[in-house]
Amino acid sequence: SHMANSVYTTNFDIPYAPLLPRDIVRLTPEMVDGADLWLMSPPCQPYTRLGKKSDVGDRRASPLASLMQLLPRLARPPRALLLENVVGFEASESWQKVSATLQRCGYEARQFSLSPLQLGIPNRRPRIYVLARRPAADGRLGARPLEHEFPGRSASERELRTRTLAEYLDPPGTYPDQVPPPELLERLASRGQRWEVVGPESTSSRTFTSGYGAECHNAY
């Protein structure tokens, strides 16, 4: 996507030239050989609980599958890989294929189910993270069981005070007050949906997505 590359260049002050405006499924080993790190956040629609969960049957799972086909063909594979996706990916056939490829290529992999709340950030966004590196530090190839704590943190570090949303908001009065129209709330209620209403002192919030309102936790 030329537009995505342009946004990336603007935000990170990186010249456009090093970025590859290529479809991932059309990459060749020569195009990606020698990279130190792969950062991957493949489309989540094949795995999300609000979707059809078509997994490998969804064409949007093809780019990740293509990368896993490339990895064994590299003369200089990356020393590490980081992959992020929605909860549910860890139980997918896609992940089983990724895990098998990592093991075959000499990587050890750790998988985590983590949320910003664990860092004291007032946002519920649980995600699956996979960290893989080679050579394996202790000779353990393949994926380890799913973990639920940030690696390398002590028990005291885990008990962080959860910040309030006020610490992330602009000062009161910066913008005009914006209240959802009652008609919109009534329409959502008629569909069995609701919004999570939070305020400056709330210690939790939810990310706004297309599935917002389909399932909503109580604010607190």
Point out the catalytic residue in the list 32, 42, 44, 83: 44
Alpha helices (H) along 33-158:
62-70, 93-104, 155-158
Residue 120 in tokens: 């004291």
Cα dist from 22 to 28, 37, 82, whole Å: 10, 18, 20
Tell me whether residue 216 is one of the annotated catalytic residues: no
Cis omega (within 30 of 0) on the bond before 63? no
Are 72 and 107 in contact by the 8 Å Cβ rule? The answer is no
Residue 122 has what DSSP assignment? S
Cα dist from 108 to 8, 15, 100, whole Å: 30, 33, 11
Q: How far apart are CA 112 and CA 128, in angstroms?
A: 6
Helices H / strands E in the chain, number of each? 6, 5
Cβ neighbors of 121 (< 8 A, separation 6 or more) are 162, 163
Q: Which residue numbers are catalytic? A: 44
